[in-house]
Structure 1
């Protein structure tokens, strides 16, 4: 690279010497003009090859993705630009100054006048040609409206009106169809060439000036004539007009004078070009030196910067291996050494961070594992009371995946708003104190879900917020209530049954003792009163039996039972029923796990309730069906009665809840108790437009079902 700079300096000196010699002796310079031109061309090509080699080297490094290639290219372009901008400015000013200096040696106004004369002649001819073309367009439009037979006569009339020398109509192939001329001696117009006809057909018209300067000039215009007929072959209209002889002669005179002036000024242009080429070569040499120096500086500067850039990318990728350091006393050497120290410190810090992160992740995973395996539901809120976490226990207990609720306030929850508001109000009421409360959540077609809520505020060290823990105590409360009702039923049965028999015996004894002593109306009153007492005692005994059955229901003896066969047995008792019974039993229904006696009681209670609900109906109807649903055997009984009132629907399974005047309210309660003990599900709903529908799902017999019964409690009510 140093030798190239020396050669460039030598060439610069030679060119400066030639420039000084040319300024002092123009004749000597002109005699060696071809040699100087060739030398300039060789030097320019050599410089071009050198610059191309440098750029090719940088481009190959860039394509090979050599680290630091883009940095070297950018630095080289930056240094080169710093030389190009001033050099280009000096070059442009020098060329302008040189050109204007040489221009002052000649009369510029004469040249301007000659050029203006030439332009004036050209403008006049162009004007005549445009005028001829416009006349031709008007004639073509009028000829297009006429048939071929009338066009020759109209052609002559239109030519005379337009004042055109000749007019001719040709076919698309160039055959002359009609012509008109203003000169009697001229019998045939000048024929257009095939190329001119093609141009006239392809374009909306073709016009040209024929002849040479100093001789006669002919103006020719060719325009297409489009007829009205569909598929009619287009015609070509040709108009010719001789240019004025004086105009042609004046134009030739001006052009001849201008040619002579150009020959006289040829020496001026050559001198200007030689000076310009000399300056150009000088500027190229200066730029070459700048680019060469830029290339050297780019290599020197990019070496440490490339090391730093490579190290930075490695650090960003997680590689903290020390890079190669440049041991120099300048700032770049100090920078690379400092960078290596920084990478070592970062490597130590990363190891420490990884250790802490592993500890945090382990603690977090442990906590998440605990939360995921808790049977209780857990809801965690931040300081703004936005839901942050809901564990699997909460999702299972509420049968809700909390989609669209994480990160939202309770007022924006699409579901479970009652639970969210209850928790928020409890925290607002108790503040930082721990609290406990019990709430009920309504469920469609089922008993309300009772939750026991407990809440506390999270410490500020963990980020603050609130946590609420809840358990589903619906079954616990139901069990307590069932036990309480069972105890009430047992005591009522004990207390009521004891005096019933003496009352009945006393009434019968009175009737026997007084039957022979009273007559007439008194005898009838005695019989009616004693019979009423006996009937009511029997009714109370039946009620006491229901109490006893509910309070002392034995544990089921589970076995494999054919549900369809049990339905058939119970339906045999209803052959004399006045209700129409539709039976739809599923074929190949698997056996269920249950107590046959208690299951008969379930079927009998449901059919009897359906009959009682339709006592006032003229055409009572009952439908009983079985099917296999989601791994359970489902039994459904439907009727056309009035259905369950809205206030009874959610409490239908509680004891002593009934709409019948003579009922005890224990029928559905007994059914619910039996279904629960069989680990089944029961669902009631009203039919549309009227009627009720009761469905029971029982687990199937088999290994999987027995495992389910021994491992998990009964499923939630559907």
Structure 2
């Protein structure tokens, strides 16, 4: 019953609101008149059905002699008569009055006059806005020729010259740079909104009429000040001028009256019916209110007990939502209000507890999200250096799932003893201070991994412990070493190459001048000495050229390259080699993205190294393999030589590291540098039982239509 009463009262309130709003927004209701009429009819029928059902319930209670049924019936009849009789009288008079009055509201001449006045006001405002925009354009052109300091000085002069109320300069981000105003009460200009600045940056000009206060109008113009020259920031000039108050007030009045008149005009057809139907609903609602009031009064005494019974059951079930209270002066009212206050305090305490728990969970989830997305590795230990937390970055850097390490102290780690030992020693040596240390991790058959560790103690407020953050700086250190070696090579090439040619020319001149004046052993010694000088000078020139190639390696010109075709082209130079070269080239190898000239140098250096490594082999053999990888193409060169000694395999890519009796050791260093600049990877391993293997992975060229055009370049020309 209570829900039915609330629903009927809500519908009645909505239609009464429509009655009050119809005269102020008739255009909306005229366009939806059929829906409004149907809604009125449905609510009226619903109220009639509800009243009929209430009468039936009351009659049944009266026949059954329910306690209080007679009082309910009397109150229902009394309130019903009090509501219906005056309502019918007011209804009849109101319908006649509304019908006669509505027809006298409208006049065609009034409508035309209002429309003409509205158009006139709009034309005047548009003219004022265009005039202000023209002034802004002139001022912007003059300010564009000034420096930043001169603009600040000339801004007020230009404002007074053009008779503008306020002028200001803004940066493209909306920051105020300079201002000039004729209103001494306002030191700062009105700031343009973000949307206005966005439109000004897009169109280079923005003009608008704004309302300031209830009836005042303001003209605002934003225009770009574009200085000559490159690299100078664009500024925006804002001019603000007030519309004359008399014009603004008159325009507002004309627009308001015209809008009101149009709304009334649009709703004139259905306005009479809307009033009639709504007044009918009001009569029915009054009858409904009279009947419902009888039920409310009858149940007033039993309501406090029902509320307490419901509240105690809810609290027993864990629901601390405040109960409804009876605001009366008797003891039952005091009891229900006290019970409501108690449940409110319990509910507030529960909400505070839930909020604190949610905040703690959110902070923990946020921290875990940060740790999971950090590229650096993070290890968290307790006070006994027992590992408690590890992030994904640490797993990726160390390529270890840390299974068996979590929950163990660093002294008992079954793996990663080098990392654990370095962490333990650092915290013992530095105690409570922050520390930083660099360590190397050896990998069998591969390059060492260089880690930069940083550690500190956690605050005691968060239960203490330690945190270690580390990064893989292998590539960074390699790049620094490569740059340092490149500078050394450049200086050596410069300092050594200059005297080589004079030395060689002097030796050849001595040979020419003294050969005819000496004989026998002296002539032979002269010839042997000069030939030795010339041979060594030429060897030094070759070494200097290698230095120069390493130091001045140009940036790659990337294009789509057929790696198989490039290998076949380079192998043509080794047709007369005594080494047997086997090809295992994948026929489905995709194009790689690289510089054909530099890739040719990689293949040539690897083949020459493999050939030199097998000088003493009885049956020298080189195997060159290509195969597709995961978004890469792989190149492998294998030989049957002695392989790389364990003591230099970790530094094999450093310059001047070589196992050959002759040579500069720059071949693999140049190969490594080229691969790095191609964003590829290179690894070297010794084969079993003999031989070495060099593996290079290169990125693939983008497919045509996905990321741009690709040019197939097998030879770099």
**Helix, strand or coil at the partner of 1:443:** coil
Partner of 1:533: 533
- Structure 1 residue 554 corresponds to structure 2 residue 554: yes
1:58-457 aligned at under 5 Å gives the runs 314-315=317-318, 319-320=319-320, 347-457=347-457
Shift of 1:345: 6.4
- Structure 1 residue 542 corresponds to structure 2 residue 542: yes
Q: TM-score, normalised by structure 2?
A: 0.51
Q: Residues of 1 paired with 2:353 and 2:704: CA distance?
A: 49
Aligned CA distance change for structure 1 residues 703 and 590 (closer, same or farther; 3 Å): closer
- Can you list the C-alpha shifts for 1:298-347, whole angstroms capped at 9, x where unaligned? xxxxxxxxx999989944xxx45799xxxxxxxxxxxxxx9999987654
Aligned CA distance change for structure 1 residues 490 and 651 (closer, same or farther; 3 Å): same
Contact persistence 2:445–2:686 (CA under 8 A)? no
Contact persistence 1:699–1:705 (CA under 8 A)? no
- Which segments of 5 or more consecutive residues in structure 2 lack a partner in the other structure? 1-309, 324-337, 709-717
Partner of 1:232: none
Q: Residues of 2 paired with 1:424 and 1:627: CA distance?
A: 45
Partner of 1:482: 482
Aligned CA distance change for structure 1 residues 423 and 661 (closer, same or farther; 3 Å): same
Shift of 1:495: 1.0
Aligned CA distance change for structure 1 residues 542 and 706 (closer, same or farther; 3 Å): farther
Partner of 1:512: 512
Q: Residues of 2 paired with 1:704 and 1:420: CA distance?
A: 49
Shift of 1:393: 2.4
Contact persistence 2:589–2:628 (CA under 8 A)? yes
**Helix, strand or coil at the partner of 2:363:** helix
Partner of 1:643: 643
Q: Residues of 2 paired with 1:494 and 1:547: CA distance?
A: 9
- Structure 1 residue 600 corresponds to structure 2 residue 600: yes
Contact persistence 2:446–2:685 (CA under 8 A)? no
Q: Residues of 1 paired with 2:513 and 2:666: CA distance?
A: 39
Shift of 1:662: 0.4
Partner of 1:500: 500
Shift of 1:369: 2.8
Shift of 1:371: 2.4
Shift of 1:704: 11
- Structure 1 residue 622 corresponds to structure 2 residue 608: no
Shift of 1:419: 1.0
Contact persistence 1:507–1:534 (CA under 8 A)? yes
**Helix, strand or coil at the partner of 2:642:** coil
Shift of 1:590: 0.3
Q: Residues of 1 paired with 2:441 and 2:703: CA distance?
A: 36
**Helix, strand or coil at the partner of 1:406:** coil
Q: Residues of 2 paired with 1:550 and 1:452: CA distance?
A: 28
Partner of 2:661: 661
- Can you list the C-alpha shifts for 1:334-386, whole angstroms capped at 9, x where unaligned? xxxx9999987654432211010111122222322332333322211112211
Partner of 2:473: 473
Aligned length: 388
Q: Residues of 2 paired with 1:655 and 1:553: CA distance?
A: 14
Shift of 1:594: 0.3
Partner of 2:690: 690
Structure with larger Rg: 1
Aligned CA distance change for structure 1 residues 651 and 706 (closer, same or farther; 3 Å): farther
Q: Residues of 1 paired with 2:340 and 2:401: CA distance?
A: 52
Q: Residues of 1 paired with 2:605 and 2:386: CA distance?
A: 49
Contact persistence 2:410–2:420 (CA under 8 A)? yes
Q: Residues of 2 paired with 1:382 and 1:608: CA distance?
A: 55
Aligned CA distance change for structure 1 residues 680 and 671 (closer, same or farther; 3 Å): same
Q: Residues of 1 paired with 2:444 and 2:349: CA distance?
A: 58
Q: Residues of 2 paired with 1:344 and 1:687: CA distance?
A: 78
1:553-572 aligned at under 5 Å gives the runs 553-572=553-572
- Which segments of 5 or more consecutive residues in structure 1 lack a partner in the other structure? 1-306, 324-337, 709-718
Q: Residues of 1 paired with 2:496 and 2:532: CA distance?
A: 18
Contact persistence 1:500–1:541 (CA under 8 A)? yes
Partner of 2:167: none
Greater RCO between the two (CA within 8 Å, min separation 6)?
2
**Helix, strand or coil at the partner of 2:606:** helix
Q: Residues of 2 paired with 1:339 and 1:687: CA distance?
A: 85
